[in-house]
Amino acid sequence: MTKIFAICMIMLSSTSVLSAADVVQTSLRQPLSQKTFAVLIFTKTEPGRYQHASTPVAVESIKNLGVKTGFQVTASSDPKVFSRQGLLRFDAVIFINNSGDILNVAQQNAFRKYIESGHGVVILHAGIRAEEDWPWFSGLLGVRFSGHPEIQKASIMLTNREHRVNRGLPKRWQRQDEWYNFAAISRDITPLILVDESTYEGGIHGDFHPVAWLREQGKGRVFCSVMGHSKGAWSSEIFLRHITNGIIYAAVAEND
């Protein structure tokens, strides 16, 4: 994937100027030419669970990213796509704001084989609340959700600005979001972005509070970002670059 990712990053990089607030202005350019890939956005939420108003906005934003950067996007809330043949149409699956029990056992098994055989998954915001009673999915995520304080502004910071998934992002910036706390954080995650708990109220993790990270599961690739609660998040060029980088990581294997 090194060559492909380098091409993607060249195409995503426009002139970036950091202001005093460390905000970068970027534009997402066309297209990914040497490798096209396809992603499924899965939006199902268990009936009775919280429905995020930002979900339709997020879906449209990711579709627009696909147009601008050259990947194909299909969106569905139908879990029937989670079959062996259904999933093989896609290089990665994006879970966004899914809560509760949304897959049956056969669908769980198909998804597990799909990931462990070398495909990718992107988990966005409340997607970490999907399938909370399925131990394999919790292990896939590397965290277990425990709650969150009120939505508020906080500072976030990159752990490694040179990591390819962090390319084009400012080292530190402020954003308003719903800052999730976790009952457990696995030691095998690769943190990308931490939230500075000294800049808001309600954090419980001290100096190590990841809000975006990577994992490997078998041969598969996992990108998680728990930011993006509000509609407004999906109009931020910085945030969209963060999401684009993560989708490319999940969808394109390193040796492609």
Q: What is the CATH number of the domain that holds 52?
A: 3.40.50.880
CA atoms of 242 and 212, how far apart (whole Å): 9
First to last CA, the chain: 5
Residues β-bridged to residue 41: 75, 94
Residue 178: its pLDDT value, please?
95
- Please answer whether residues 231 and 54 qualify as being in contact, where contact means their C-beta atoms are separated by less than 8 angstroms: yes
CA atoms of 49 and 47, how far apart (whole Å): 6
Q: With b meaning 16 or more CB within 10 Å and e meaning fewer, what string describes 226-253?
A: bbbbbeebbebbbbbbbbbbbbbbbbbb
Q: Report the domain count for the chain.
A: 1
CA atoms of 81 and 40, how far apart (whole Å): 9
- CA 244 to chain CA centroid, Å, is 9
- Please answer whether residues 121 and 140 qualify as being in contact, where contact means their C-beta atoms are separated by less than 8 angstroms: yes
Query: Which tokens is 195 given?
Result: 């939230």
Residue 23: its pLDDT value, please?
36
Residue 36: its pLDDT value, please?
85
Residue 256: its pLDDT value, please?
54
Q: Which residues are within 8 A (CB) of 135 and not within 5 positions of it... i.e. 6 or more apart?
A: none
- Domain assignment present for residue 236? The answer is yes
- Domain assignment present for residue 134? The answer is yes
- Domain assignment present for residue 256? The answer is no
CA torsion, points 72, 63, 50, 186, in degrees to nearest 10?
60
114 CB neighbour count, 10 Å cutoff: 22
- Give the pTM: 0.86
CA atoms of 73 and 67, how far apart (whole Å): 9
Domain span holding position 157: 2-251
Tens of pLDDT, residue by residue, the chain (256 residues) = 544 444 444 444 433 333 323 333 333 443 323 468 999 999 999 888 888 899 999 999 999 999 999 999 999 999 999 999 999 999 999 999 998 999 999 999 999 999 999 999 999 998 998 999 999 999 999 998 999 999 999 999 999 999 999 999 999 999 999 999 999 999 999 999 999 999 999 999 999 999 999 999 999 999 999 999 999 999 999 999 999 999 999 999 876 5
Residue 130: its pLDDT value, please?
93
